[in-house]
Structure 1
C-alpha cells in the first residue's frame, strides 16, 4: 500500500553580476514519490533544464542548451 506523492517545481538562476557574465538557467522538475513504509521511500524525477549563456562568443560551443535528466533515489531511515 503506502502513499504516493506527485510534485512539480520551477526554478531559475541568473548568474549575471558586475563584471561577471555567467548566463541564466531555468528548469522544470516533475516528480513522483512512493512512501512504502514510514521509514522507506522511493523517488523519481524528470528535470528539463534550459541554459542561456551570456557570451557564447567568449566560450565557443556554449550556446543555448536543453538538458534532460531522469533521476531515481531511495531513502531508508533507521
Structure 2
C-alpha cells in the first residue's frame, strides 16, 4: 500500500509542476493554476497522513469539510 501511495504522490508532484509551468507561461490562466496547485497540496497532505497511518485524522478532516459544505 505504501508503494501505491508514494507512486501517487510522485505522479501528483509531476502533474502539479506541469500545471504551474503552464500557468507561468499563461497557457492556462494563473488563478486556475493556483487553485489546482492548492488542491493538489491538500490532496498530498492527506496522502502523507494516510502513509503515516493517521487514517482517523484524514476521516476527521474530510468529515469537517462535508459538514461545512452543508
Per residue, is there more helix in 1 or in 2? 2
Larger radius of gyration: 1
Q: TM-score w.r.t. structure 1 length?
A: 0.23
Per residue, is there more strand in 1 or in 2? 1
